[in-house]
Chains A and B, each alone.
Chain A
Amino acid sequence: MQALRTAATGMAAQQLNVEVISNNIANMNTVGFKRQSAVFEDLLYQTYEAPGSQSSDSGNIVPTGVQIGAGVKAGSVYRITGQGTLTNTGNALDMAVNGPGYFQVLLPSGETAYTRAGNFSANDQGQIVTADGYLVQPTIALPANTTNITISQTGQVQATVGNATAPTVVGQMQLATFLNDAGLDAVGNNLFMESAGSGPATAGNPGNPGFGVVMQGYTEASNVDPVTEITNLIIAQRAYEMNSKVVTTADQMLSTAVSTKT
C-alpha cells in the first residue's frame, strides 16, 4: 500500500518541522538570531489515467484523470529576516543595526562573513572584534588611553584620548546588504556567508539609502516570538499524529484483508 509510505513522508516532514522550531526556541535569547521556517512541497505524482484519455471505445473522455501523489518533502528551510527588538546594554562597543544591513567580519580563513550580532569588544591591539575575536571590517583600531568612544548612527567612530577635550575620528563602520538576505548561508556562531541565493554583498555606510543605522550601546535581540513557536509546535505535533493515524488505518485494512480468508 502506497498510503503507508506516503504517511511516512508526512511524519518525516513534521519531524523536520519540529527540529526547526526547536532550534528557534533554543535561540530565543541569541543576539541577532533570525527565526527559521520549514516549507514543504508535494512529491511526484503517479498517473494511473491521464486527463483526457479515453475511457471507452465510444470515445468517452476521462475529464480529470487519476493522479496519486507520493507524499511530501522539505522544500526549503528559510530565514525570516524581520528586525529583532533592540536591547540597551550600555556597553560602548555594542552595536545594533536598525534596518537592513549586516556587519562584516573577517574570518581567520580570509573569507568575509556577515552578522547582525553586534556584541563587539576591543582586542589587545585596540581593534574592534567580535565575541570570537574575529576582526570587524573595515578594521578600526582604538588608540591607547582611549577614555570615551562615540559611534554615530551613520557609523563614524570617534575616540577621546587621554585628557584631550575634542574626540578624534578613528574609523567608519560599514554595512553590507543583499538582494535576498533570506538566501544567506548560516555557518553558526551568528555568522552568515554569501551564497548564490543571496546575491553579492553591497557595502555602504550606515544611513545611506537602503542601509539601516547603527545604534551604539544596543544589541539586537532574537526575532523569535515564543507564542508563535509554541503554536507552530502544537500544529506540527498534531500533523504528525494525523499521519500516524493513516499508518494505523492502512495497517488495519491490511489486517482485514489478511483475515478475510479464515
Chain B
Amino acid sequence: MDNTVYVGLSRQMILERELDITSNNLANVDTTGFKFESMISNDDSVTMPTPGIAPAAVHFVADAGVARDFTQGSLVQTNAPLDVAVDGKGFFTINTAAGPRYTRDGRFKLDSGGRIVTQDGDPVDGGGDIVLDPTKGGVTIAPNGIISQQGQNVGKISVVTFDSLAALSKDGNNQYRNDSNLTPTPAANAQVRQGFLESSNVEPVRQITRLIEIERAYDAVANMMSSTQDLSDSAIQRLGAVNPS
C-alpha cells in the first residue's frame, strides 16, 4: 500500500522538474537563438519482494532526458551590419578561453583590434580570427558566410553542425558545449543572413498550456495520495474498533 504514495511522489518530483523546464522556456521567450526544451520521462519498474503474494513490478516515473527542439526561430531584421542569423541547421563557432562553444546568437561586434567578437568579447571562428580593416568601412556578409569589405574577400564565418544535436549541452550565455566525441562538420544546408537575428522558438501558448497540464496532473496525484491515506485511515478505524460493525 505504501508504494502508491511513493509512486505518486516519483510523479510529483518529475512534474516539479517539468515546471522548472517550462518556467525556463517562458523566461527565455525573448532570448536570441533560444531553443525550447521539454522533459522525457519513462517507466522505471522495480520488482519488490512482497511476502505472501506473487511479486509484481511497481512502476515508478523517472526522467530519461531533456529533449531540445531545434526548430528554426523566426528571423527579426535589425539592419546592424554585424548581426547575423543562421537560416537552417548550423551553429557559429566561438573560440572561448574554455574551448570552442557553439551558438545561434549572432549579435557580434568588433573589438579594438578589429576582430569580430561576441558581446562577451570572445572571437568568432572563421578558420582563425576574422579581422576587419576599420578604415575600409562597409561590411558585407554573403549567405555562404564570405565576408567582404569594398568588394574584397576578408574572411569566412564558419557555420558547423553535428551528426546528433542531442550530444550538445547548454552552457548558458546562449552557447552550447560539445562534450561528446562527435566532431563538428561544415553545415551544408545553412545560410547566413546579415542584418537579422534569430528569435527564440518558444511558443508561449504551448508553454502556458503545459503549465496548466502540469498543475492538473500534480493535483490529480495529490488526490490519489490523499485517497490512499483515507483508505488506510478507515482500515485502521474499522479494524481497530472494539465492536466492529
Q: Mark A65-83, 1 if CB is under 8 A from B, else 0.
A: 1111111100110101110
Task: List B contacts of A193 (CB < 8 A).
Answer: none
Residue A23 at the chain B interface, CB threshold 8 Å: no
Residue of A nearest to B166 (CB): A64
Q: Which B residues between 155 and 190 are near A, CB-CB below 8 angstroms?
A: 166-174, 179-180
Residue of B nearest to A238 (CB): B204
Task: List A contacts of B167 (CB < 8 A).
Answer: 51-52
Cα A219 to Cα B174 with chains together (Å): 39
Given the known A-B contacts A180-B82, A242-B29, are A65 and B169 also in contact in the complex, defined by CB atoms under 8 Å? Answer: yes
Cα A209 to Cα B24 with chains together (Å): 47
Residue of B nearest to A100 (CB): B137
Task: List B contacts of A209 (CB < 8 A).
Answer: 137
Given the known A-B contacts A7-B23, A70-B24, A75-B107, are A64 and B225 also in contact in the complex, defined by CB atoms under 8 Å? Answer: no
Is B26 a contact partner of A63 (Cβ separation < 8 A)? no
Interface residues on chain B, size class: 35 or more
Given the known A-B contacts A44-B172, A75-B173, A179-B134, are A62 and B28 also in contact in the complex, defined by CB atoms under 8 Å? Answer: no
Is B19 a contact partner of A253 (Cβ separation < 8 A)? yes
Residue B243 at the chain A interface, CB threshold 8 Å: no
Task: List B contacts of A225 (CB < 8 A).
Answer: none
Residue of B nearest to A9 (CB): B27
Task: List B contacts of A109 (CB < 8 A).
Answer: none
Is B78 a contact partner of A249 (Cβ separation < 8 A)? no
Is A65 a contact partner of B66 (Cβ separation < 8 A)? yes
Q: Mark B183-211, 1 if CB is under 8 A from A, else 0.
A: 00000000000000100000010011001
Task: List A contacts of B114 (CB < 8 A).
Answer: 179, 199
Nearest CB in chain A: distance from B112 CB, A: 5
Stretch touching chain A among B50-58, B87-95, B212-220:
B212-220
Task: List B contacts of A250 (CB < 8 A).
Answer: 19, 23
Query: How many of chain A's residues have a CB under 8 angstroms from any CB in B?
Result: 75
Residue A24 at the chain B interface, CB threshold 8 Å: no
Residue B7 at the chain A interface, CB threshold 8 Å: no
Is B29 a contact partner of A249 (Cβ separation < 8 A)? no
Cα A243 to Cα B111 with chains together (Å): 35
Is A41 a contact partner of B172 (Cβ separation < 8 A)? yes
Q: Which B residues between 59 and 102 are near A, CB-CB below 8 angstroms?
A: 63-68, 78-80, 82
Task: List A contacts of B132 (CB < 8 A).
Answer: 179
Nearest CB in chain B: distance from A139 CB, A: 25
Q: Which B residues between 13 and 50 are near A, CB-CB below 8 angstroms?
A: 15-17, 19-24, 26-32, 34, 37, 39-40
Nearest CB in chain A: distance from B73 CB, A: 13
Residue A260 at the chain B interface, CB threshold 8 Å: yes
Nearest CB in chain B: distance from A84 CB, A: 13
Residue of B nearest to A70 (CB): B24
Is A68 a contact partner of B226 (Cβ separation < 8 A)? no
Q: Which 9 A-B residue pairs are closest in the complex by CB-CB distance?
A: A10-B27, A210-B137, A64-B65, A69-B24, A3-B23, A6-B23, A179-B134, A44-B172, A246-B23
25 of the cross-chain contacts (CB-CB < 8 Å) are A2-B20, A3-B19, A10-B27, A40-B32, A42-B170, A43-B172, A51-B169, A52-B180, A64-B166, A65-B169, A67-B169, A72-B31, A78-B119, A81-B80, A182-B82, A196-B112, A202-B135, A235-B30, A239-B30, A243-B23, A256-B218, A256-B219, A256-B222, A259-B222, A260-B222
Q: Which residues does B use to contact A, with CB under 8 Å?
A: 12, 15-17, 19-24, 26-32, 34, 37, 39-40, 63-68, 78-80, 82, 105, 107, 109-112, 114, 119, 132, 134-138, 166-174, 179-180, 197, 204, 207-208, 211-212, 214-215, 218-219, 222, 225-226, 229
